[in-house]
Amino acid sequence: MFPAGSPGVALLLLRLSVAATPFIDEHGHFSDLPPGWMALALFLVASLLIVGFVTPVLAVFCGMFKVLSVWALGGTLAPIDVLVLLEAAAVALLGPGAYSLDARLFGRRVVA
């Protein structure tokens, strides 16, 4: 359920990249942060995703935030935004991996 070794490291890298996506615009630069409490909530979500806590939910949240921020600014989805959504979906479907807080909390067991 929580792969270790190189697949676990790959999932850790995927979590890092999905957590970074709300902070980067379509040109690869750091985007402007939302005001006040929303920026704090975004940092909290990104931090929890990096450590691997409720990974599927937070990965979906990061993908949705990216789409909503593009929509709120009146833009269209760039190809990089579509890739971000695919990456967030992959993390949500694959799970956190062995190097995560979820693996520590729920244990590495096989569900039959």
Torsional class of 97: left (φ above 0), alpha (ψ -120 to 50), beta (otherwise): left
Q: What's the token pair of residue 89?
A: 């979906």
pLDDT at 13: 93
pLDDT, residue 108, reads 64
Q: Which is higher by pLDDT, 61 or 25?
A: 61
Q: H/E element holding 29?
A: none
Contact 49/59 with Cβ under 8 angstroms?
yes
Compute the distance between CA of residue 108 and CA of residue 36 in angstroms, rounded to an integer. 38
Query: What is the per-residue pLDDT for 112?
Result: 57
| Residue ranges covered by each domain of the chain | 5-106
pTM, to two decimals: 0.81
DSSP string, 31-80: PPPPSTHHHHHHHHHHHHHHHTSSHHHHHHHHHHHHHHHHHHTT----HH
Average pLDDT of the residues of the chain: 84
Choice between 70 and 62, residue whose per-residue pLDDT is larger? 62
Q: Residue 87 carries which DSSP code? A: H
